[in-house]
Structure 1
Amino acid sequence: MSLVYHEITNFFDLEQYPLIAELTQRFQGFRERLLADPKFLNRLAIEEAISITTTLVAQYEKRKENFFEELDYVITDSVRASVVDFFTVWLPAPTLSFLSYADETARPNSIDALRGLLGSIPDNAFQKSLGGKDWTLNLRIASVIVGGLKLAGVGVVSSFAAVGSSNALYAIRKFIKPELAVSEQTKRSPMLKTAVVYGGYLGTSSNIRYQIIAGLIEHRISDELSSQPLLVNMISFVVRVANSYYGTQQWIDLARSTGLQAQKVPRLPIKSQRL
């Protein structure tokens, strides 16, 4: 009970800021996350701040001299990563909500029953029990599965949007300067296959990595160091930088191994041979 009281006190402290107060009043999901974790805004800002930087660094590290030749892949992956990173922080973040007595006694329909079922599952497998809830091992395993399905859906939708935009830009460039399109001969990423592979990647690798970060590192370890906020923010920053960098390189390897992104081989100059 003291834990819940502490979180509510911190929440009201944050509501002194007009922007945060406006967001909490308009968006229930935002309010629930701040109630469970007053540092949620810090974690989201850290993730978004490092997303583009580490993505570009990892892209260059993997593509090397082909970086600019494969710029369409770089742009597609970077834009998609910045959008997806928001959801990888949002979905596994701990939440805390309070229902009125009228809501609890209202006759449930199918949607309410589904919400109740999802509400009985923790937001991530490592989340501390909040509000008197005692999550069993089966429920924690279910949170991994449900979280993976959510992230997979985000991956499919974002991939369709990113690849579709990339193909549209390529078509415009080909129309304006046909000679560039002929000289590049870039293999376009298949939209459906990319969406399926990327959705599977987010639902498995990304889902597990971000559940560990949100539940174990930032929700458990950081709480033990709550008296040292600078150290807590540094731990979160370092872990998220390493995770973003590793995740980008892992995706590039997966995209290449599945044929989604063709790796261009630089042309070597022809040297005359003396006999």
Structure 2
Amino acid sequence: GGDDGEEGEEGEIAALLKQYGVLASQLPKGAEKLDPKALGRFLEAYSNKLSKWLIDTWPAWRDKVLADPEFGYKLMVEETVGLGLAMSGTVAARGKDLLKELDFFFTDCAVGAVINFVIIWLLAPSVGKAAATTGLAAAVGNLPAFALAEGKYSVAQRVGAGVYKGSLFSACGFLGSLGGTTLAYILFQVRKLLNPEGTQAAALPNVLANSLGWGSFMFVSTNPRYQLINGIEQVMYKALPTGAGKAGSLVLRTGNNMVGGATWVLWARFIGLQKQSEDQGNGKGKKK
């Protein structure tokens, strides 16, 4: 019976390779270990020219896609729909001053895109992880990619993954806001030097307070929301056809970005970073 099962899998794999026009020798390192269903999802990602180039040239990207073939799709959703929602909020907040403040707008875009990438990257599982040694490095290396990840992990390991990834998110939010807000101040001063009379006073937030606010928000709001989304997607992609799973992922992540925008306003008010009358001007659509 076992031999029949192996022969059946080999037949499925051969059919998949033929369907996608790929020779077994052309598969990237690690792909030969995938079961037929996972290989089918991987080959779909590998059939995209950009995705194929990234897999072939960037080993870390390859290891992410081998562990989660929808990794690139999830990143694309966050960098298009998610960032688009955030930037639409920025456009609405700036209104008629948008063209005069394109430098600020593009700063917001750049910071948002980097934070999106870091969030998806940190929560994505990866194959080929180096073997854990001892001490703290071993403990961190043995944590799941996210709290609800498949596998035989203890409750302590799952809680540890949530706290560890949340801490990384917090640092990312703090540094992203610190860099973005500082750059906004620099751009404002440059504009003042170039055009003193035409530059209006900008309502820029306090650099340190804003950065601490974003760091704490990434831990208490962004982290649990994305941990939950990854857990739901994990079940969806196993239970549904790939197309349906991707549609569900799009809905989930779009809704999450909308929830993120609302909860940021509530959090900023709660910690005293924004007053209600300032939300329109200072919320600026960052929806992580």
One-letter amino acid of the counterpart of residue 253, structure 2: R
Partner of 1:271: none
Shift of 1:46: 1.2
Q: Which has the higher contact order (CA 8 A, sep 6+)?
A: 1
One-letter amino acid of the counterpart of residue 145, structure 2: D
Partner of 2:19: none
Partner of 1:250: 263
List per-residue Cα deviations over 1:160-179 (Å, max 9, x = no partner).
21111111111112222223
Shift of 1:144: 0.5
CA distance in 1, matches of 2:108, 2:262: 11
Partner of 1:272: none
One-letter amino acid of the counterpart of residue 233, structure 1: K
Any gaps of 5 or more consecutive residues in structure 2? 1-8, 10-32, 281-288
Shift of 1:152: 0.9
Q: TM-score, normalised by structure 2?
A: 0.71
1:57 aligns with 2:94: no
Shift of 1:113: 4.7
Contact 1:58 1:249 in 2 (8 A): no
CA distance in 2, matches of 1:162, 1:239: 27
Shift of 1:52: 2.7
When residues 14 and 236 of structure 1 are mapped into structure 2, their CA distance, relative to the original with a 3 A threshold, is closer
When residues 252 and 67 of structure 1 are mapped into structure 2, their CA distance, relative to the original with a 3 A threshold, is farther
CA distance in 2, matches of 1:265, 1:92: 30
Which of 177, 196, 201 matches 2:217? 201
Any gaps of 5 or more consecutive residues in structure 1? 267-275
Listed as ranges, the matches of 1:160-171 within 5 Å are 160-171=178-189
RMSD: 3.2
CA distance in 2, matches of 1:173, 1:151: 32
Moved more, 139-148 or 8-17: 8-17
Q: Percent identity?
A: 23
When residues 128 and 237 of structure 1 are mapped into structure 2, their CA distance, relative to the original with a 3 A threshold, is same
CA distance in 2, matches of 1:154, 1:53: 20
When residues 242 and 18 of structure 1 are mapped into structure 2, their CA distance, relative to the original with a 3 A threshold, is closer
Listed as ranges, the matches of 1:87-236 within 5 Å are 87-97=118-128, 108=133, 113-129=135-151, 134-181=152-199, 184-214=200-230, 216-225=231-240, 228-236=241-249
One-letter amino acid of the counterpart of residue 213, structure 1: I
